[in-house]
Structure 1
Amino acid sequence: MRHTRATVMRTALRLLDELGLDGLTTRRLAQELDVQPSALYRHFGGQRELLDHMAATMVEDAFAHLARPGPGQDWAGWLAERGRALRRSLLSRRDGARLHLGARPVGTQDATSDSALEVLGEAGFSPANARRVVLVVNRYTVGWVVEEQASADRPEPGECRERADADFEYGLSAILAGLRATLGAQTR
């Protein structure tokens, strides 16, 4: 039976949710699709490439509805929403943040980053600093979700979603305040 790349991807993401990253293998995916493991190489060069595309799909889904800032919309508010969207996407999948760690950019991820770099450039960041800003927010978000997902099986007494959301927002606000100050110092 021939499967499309999209079918393979949807099945792999479903298996990620069911089995976790450690249980997701090309052999298990092939079994689920009722094909030989070698049939998967028609779509992906190996497990690393499959994982890269899975991570890219999550990022693309996260930013699909995130429009560029409109007139009067602040770059920092837009960047905060970008961080929140990434967090929601990573949390939506079992081991979503672990999957994202070390993933190589594929697909339209470069275009997504280019859009962010343009927004930040228009706000006044130099190209090098705009790149750093994107990295800081992305890495903060991924690291945060790694911790959230690692402790999900052993919640602390009294821990709740609202507290995790508030703590994430506090850190994100602190980062954005620092970035505003950095931008202000650059433009003086």
Structure 2
Amino acid sequence: MRHTRATVMRTALRLLNEVGLDGLTTRRLAQELDVQSPALYRHFGSKRELLDHMAAAMIEDAFSHLARPGPGQDWADWLAERGRALRESLLAHRDGARLHVGTRPVGSQIAISNSVIEVLGEAGFPPADARRAVLVISRYTVGWAFEEQAGHPMAEEPREAADADFEYGLRAILAGLRANLAGVRAGLGGETR
């Protein structure tokens, strides 16, 4: 039976939820698809490439319903929506954050990041600062979700408390970005190498 790349990836995501990242082997995936392991390499050159595409699919799912900012929408509120959507997507998959850590951006994930950088540029961020803002929000969110899924003591908190704590950190980062942008507009900083 021939499978498409999308079928292989979606099956891998389903298996991730069932057996976790440690249990997700190419052998197990091949058995699930009723093929020999080498057949998987027709679609993905390595397990690392498969994991990269699985992480990208999670990002695509998270951001598929999010549009560019509406008229008058604050860039910080818009960026916060993306942070929340990323966290929810990572938490929706067993070991989702752990899978995402260390993956390389591929496919539409690059276009999504570039779109966010473009929106921040339109808000007044110099290109390097816009790129850094995306990295800061992404790394904060992935790290937060990683801790939530890793059995960290905060994972035992009620969901409402974890949400409130996440929001506190997100607001702090956005306040810092807003202050940085004000400094750029006043000619006091921005885009350093």
Looking at structure 1, the residues matched to 159 and 32 of structure 2 have their Cα atoms a distance apart, in angstroms, of 33
Q: Secondary structure at the match of 1:42?
A: coil
Looking at structure 2, the residues matched to 28 and 175 of structure 1 have their Cα atoms a distance apart, in angstroms, of 41
Looking at structure 2, the residues matched to 153 and 47 of structure 1 have their Cα atoms a distance apart, in angstroms, of 31
1:173 pairs with 2:171: yes
Matches within 5 A, 1:2-151: 2-151=2-151
Shift of 1:46: 1.1
Looking at structure 2, the residues matched to 109 and 71 of structure 1 have their Cα atoms a distance apart, in angstroms, of 25
The list of structure 1 runs, each at least 4 consecutive aligned residues, that deviate by more than 6 angstroms after superposition, is none
Looking at structure 1, the residues matched to 4 and 181 of structure 2 have their Cα atoms a distance apart, in angstroms, of 46
Looking at structure 1, the residues matched to 110 and 72 of structure 2 have their Cα atoms a distance apart, in angstroms, of 26
Deviations 1:115-162 (A, max 9, x none): 101100011000000000000000000000000001279954xx2000
Would you say the 8 A contact 2:20–2:94 is kept in 1?
yes
Q: Secondary structure at the match of 2:84?
A: helix
Looking at structure 2, the residues matched to 153 and 31 of structure 1 have their Cα atoms a distance apart, in angstroms, of 36
Looking at structure 1, the residues matched to 62 and 26 of structure 2 have their Cα atoms a distance apart, in angstroms, of 25
Looking at structure 1, the residues matched to 169 and 60 of structure 2 have their Cα atoms a distance apart, in angstroms, of 24
Looking at structure 2, the residues matched to 122 and 108 of structure 1 have their Cα atoms a distance apart, in angstroms, of 21
AA aligned opposite 1:52: D
Q: Secondary structure at the match of 1:45?
A: coil
TM-score (norm 1): 0.96
TM-score (norm 2): 0.94
Looking at structure 2, the residues matched to 183 and 15 of structure 1 have their Cα atoms a distance apart, in angstroms, of 43
Looking at structure 2, the residues matched to 184 and 127 of structure 1 have their Cα atoms a distance apart, in angstroms, of 15
Q: Secondary structure at the match of 2:104?
A: coil
- Equivalent residue in structure 2 for 1:182, among 177, 180, 188: 180
What's the C-alpha RMSD, in Å, of the aligned pairs?
A: 1.3
Looking at structure 2, the residues matched to 4 and 153 of structure 1 have their Cα atoms a distance apart, in angstroms, of 41
Please, which runs of 5 or more residues in structure 2 have no aligned partner? Answer: 187-193
Looking at structure 2, the residues matched to 82 and 155 of structure 1 have their Cα atoms a distance apart, in angstroms, of 22
Shift of 1:109: 1.1
Q: Percent identity, please.
A: 77
Deviations 1:57-100 (A, max 9, x none): 00111111111101110000000000000000000000000000
Shift of 1:10: 1.2
Looking at structure 2, the residues matched to 119 and 106 of structure 1 have their Cα atoms a distance apart, in angstroms, of 20
